[in-house]
Amino acid sequence: DVKVTQSSRYLVKRTGEKVFLECVQDMDHENMFWYRQDPGLGLRLIYFSYDVKMKEKGDIPEGYSVSREKKERFSLILESASTNQTSMYLCASRLPTTEAFFGQGTRLTVV
């Protein structure tokens, strides 16, 4: 059973904190993605990675960074959390032309 696992289902952080969201996949996929999901806006791509140590900005990278030191792990970092980063964060992985497999999501609240 293929899996994408996100480290937390729910997180509450304070404004200004550095926040780490972790994602692990067990399918040996080259490509991994971080999206945020807000009502009425669908899934917006923050960053994606097509190989270890390789990354590319998505559509809304401001305020975020990522790290991919190992193929199976892709981390999203909020350098200084702000209230407008309160959202559902979804990690996904895929081979170049196949379906995307998603984690269960992390609902982050910044207070």
Partner 1 sequence: TQLLEQSPQFLSIQEGENLTVYCNSSSVFSSLQWYRQEPGEGPVLLVTVVTGGEVKKLKRLTFQFGDARKDSSLHITAAQPGDTGLYLCAGGGRGSRLTFGEGTQLTVNP
Min CB(9)–partner 1 separation in Å: 8
Comparison of 14 and 97: residue with beta carbon closer to partner 1: 97
Residue from 71, 70, 64 nearest 21 by CA:
64
For residue 44, count other CB atoms closer than 10 A to its CB: 14
C-beta closer to partner 1: residue 44 or 73? 44
Query: Distance between CA atoms of 55 and 59, rounded to whole angstroms?
Result: 13
Residues 16-35 that bind partner 1 (CB under 8 A): 30-31, 33, 35
Nearer to partner 1, 51 or 79 (CB): 51
- The answer for 63, left when phi > 0, alpha when psi is -120 to 50, beta otherwise, is left
Taking the complex as a whole, how short is the minimal distance between the CB of residue 101 and partner 1, in angstroms?
Answer: 8
Contact assessment for residue 49 and residue 41, using Cβ atoms and an 8 Å cutoff: no
Q: List binders of partner 1 among 82-101 (CB under 8 A).
A: 90, 92, 94-97, 99-101
Least distance CB 89 / partner 1 (angstroms): 11
Of 20, 19, 29, 9, nearest in space to 70 by CA: 29
Contact residues toward partner 1 (CB under 8 A) are: 4, 9, 30-31, 33, 35, 40-45, 48, 50, 56, 58-59, 90, 92, 94-97, 99-105
